[in-house]
């Protein structure tokens, strides 16, 4: 029987792992399909306190995992098939194996939102991607015009990163000003290799018949004019959807699918706590996720002390 199982190894999950490990609870930490979470797909993280020069996202997450393991966390590359929260102990099936635990910290994070336009899914990995740092350096994108969609920090970060490889980057945004933070927006707008395409949406990715991205079809939302923009790649950065499907109907979710919390990190099921982007539609920062992970760990420790000491 485990004392604590943590689902997710992003900032929230690994911070919860550090705290519960230091408390002597030897947490079992399940990575899911993306060990280290979405931050491993980012380039430089400039706003995590303690790193004045910035730190590579992958390195930050690797260090967090090492810190957790140093205190006794058991990190397994595994995915949860199902969770039975109807009684005590909590029962999980993890890659086909049954696991029982007294407490559960859900830190499942969020995945990339898709545009849901024709050609997007057909051309995924053939020029459509959701991660510039993962794919931007691929030969098919080198010295080619590329399109990024979105107006937030992610889109600005991706567009800026892609200027290293692309002949030109078009940043397509559905409004006439960026949602991104000032520093990211200013940097993006000042970059001579980035051209803004305002008030526009991608309505189709071309060319499914050719089996690769040759361009995108655009619609200007103010004029309704349509056009085609030739490009070799489409980088979609239009936000995220929370990874909460496993708990639908069991834990409370809001209209957008994010976990709704009770007091602190608690849920309506005793012994089950939630942390990070899967429960945060507002801040969604590495440091806020880490803070939520810390809170969930403390809540789990206190629950165990009250019920199982």
* Residues recognised as catalytic: 131, 134-135
Does 47 participate in binding ligand NAP (rule CB under 6 A)?
yes
Q: Indicate the residue whose CB is closest to ligand NAP.
A: 152
Residue 53 beta carbon to ligand NAP: minimum distance, rounded to whole angstroms = 14
Residue among 269, 260, 271, 268 nearest 299 (CA): 271
By beta-carbon proximity to ligand NAP, the closer residue of 237 and 304 is 237
Does 153 participate in binding ligand NAP (rule CB under 6 A)?
yes
Does 29 participate in binding ligand NAP (rule CB under 6 A)?
no
Does 151 participate in binding ligand NAP (rule CB under 6 A)?
yes
Residue 11 beta carbon to ligand NAP: minimum distance, rounded to whole angstroms = 12
Considering only residues 155-174, where is the footprint of ligand NAP by CB under 6 A?
A: 155, 157, 174
Half-sphere exposure of residue 60, counting CA atoms within 13 Å on the CB side?
27
Does 284 participate in binding ligand NAP (rule CB under 6 A)?
yes
By beta-carbon proximity to ligand NAP, the closer residue of 239 and 291 is 239
Does 14 participate in binding ligand NAP (rule CB under 6 A)?
no
Does 217 participate in binding ligand NAP (rule CB under 6 A)?
no
Site size toward ligand NAP, by CB under 6 A: 21
Does 154 participate in binding ligand NAP (rule CB under 6 A)?
yes
Cα–chain center distance at 64: 17
Does 152 participate in binding ligand NAP (rule CB under 6 A)?
yes
Q: How many CB atoms lie within 10 A of CB 279?
A: 28
Does 213 participate in binding ligand NAP (rule CB under 6 A)?
no
Does 218 participate in binding ligand NAP (rule CB under 6 A)?
no
Q: Is 195 left (phi over 0), alpha (psi -120 to 50) or beta?
A: beta
Which member of 11, 73, 147, 149 binds ligand NAP (CB under 6 A)? 149
Interface with ligand NAP (CB under 6 A): 47, 113, 115, 149-155, 157, 174-175, 179, 201, 237-240, 284-285
């Amino acid at each position: 029987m485990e004392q604590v199982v943590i689902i997710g190894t992003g900032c929230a999950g690994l911070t919860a792992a550090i705290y519960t490990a230091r408390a002597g609870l030897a947490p079992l930490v399940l990575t899911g399909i993306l060990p280290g979470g979405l931050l491993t797909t980012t380039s430089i993280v400039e706003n995590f306190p303690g790193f004045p020069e910035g730190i590579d996202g992958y390195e930050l997450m690797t260090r967090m995992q090492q810190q957790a393991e140093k205190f006794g966390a058991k990190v397994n590359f595994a995915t949860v098939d199902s969770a039975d929260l109807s009684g005590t102990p909590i029962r999980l099936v993890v890659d086909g194996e049954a696991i029982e635990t007294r407490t559960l910290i859900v830190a499942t994070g969020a995945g990339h939102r898709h545009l849901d336009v024709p050609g997007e899914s057909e051309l995924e990995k053939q020029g459509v991607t959701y991660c510039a740092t993962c794919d931007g350096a691929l030969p098919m994108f080198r010295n080619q015009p590329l399109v990024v969609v979105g107006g937030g920090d992610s889109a600005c970060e991706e567009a800026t990163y892609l200027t290293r490889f692309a002949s030109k980057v078009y940043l397509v945004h559905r409004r006439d000003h960026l949602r991104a933070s000032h520093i990211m927006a200013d940097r993006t707008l000042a970059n001579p290799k980035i051209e803004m395409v305002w008030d526009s949406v991608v309505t189709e990715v071309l060319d499914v018949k050719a089996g690769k991205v040759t361009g995108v079809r655009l619609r200007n939302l103010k004029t309704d004019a349509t056009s085609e923009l030739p490009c070799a790649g489409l980088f979609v950065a239009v936000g995220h959807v929370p990874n909460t499907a496993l708990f639908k109907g069991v834990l409370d979710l809001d209209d957008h699918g994010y976990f709704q919390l009770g007091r602190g990190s608690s849920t309506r099921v005793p012994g089950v706590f939630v942390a990070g982007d899967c429960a945060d539609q507002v801040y969604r920062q590495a440091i806020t996720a880490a803070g939520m992970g810390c809170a969930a760990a403390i809540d789990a420790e206190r629950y165990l002390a009250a019920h199982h000491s």
